[in-house]
Amino acid sequence: MARKLAIRPELLAAAAAGVVLLDQWTKYLVVSRLPVGARHELIRDILFLVHVVNKGAAWGMMHGRMNVLALISIAVFVLLVVYFRRFTERVGERELALALLLGGIGGNLIDRLNLIPRPSGMVGVVDFISVQYVPRQWEYPSFNVADSAICVGVATYCLSCWLRRLPEPAAAKPVAKRDWGQVLRDWLRP
Pick the closest to residue 98 from 74, 76, 70 (CA basis).
76
- The per-residue pLDDT of the chain, averaged, comes to 86
Q: Is the pLDDT of residue 1 over 50?
A: no
In percent, how much of the chain has pLDDT > 70? 92
Give the DSSP H/E element, type plus range, for residue 159. helix 145-163
Which value, in Å, is the radius of gyration of the alpha carbons in the chain?
22
Confidence of residue 172 (pLDDT cuts 50, 70, 90): low
CA distance 71 to 73: 5
- Note the Cα 34 to chain centre separation in Å: 26
Amino acid at 49: L
Which pLDDT score, from 0 to 100, does residue 72 have? 92
* β partners of residue 138: 133
pLDDT at 102: 97
- Distance, in Å, from the CA atom of 85 to the CA atom of 92, rounded to the nearest integer, reads 11
pLDDT digits (tens, 9 = 90+) for 144-170: 999 999 999 999 999 999 888 766 666
CB 64 within 8 A of CB 56: yes
Per-residue pLDDT reduced to its tens digit, 6-27: 788 899 999 999 999 999 999 9
User: 10 Cβ partners below 8 Å, 6+ apart?
Assistant: none
Q: Which residues are catalytic?
A: 127, 147
pLDDT in tens, 120-144: 777 889 999 999 887 788 888 889 9
Residue 155 is predicted with a pLDDT of 96
More reliable by pLDDT, 47 or 176: 47
- pLDDT for 63: 79
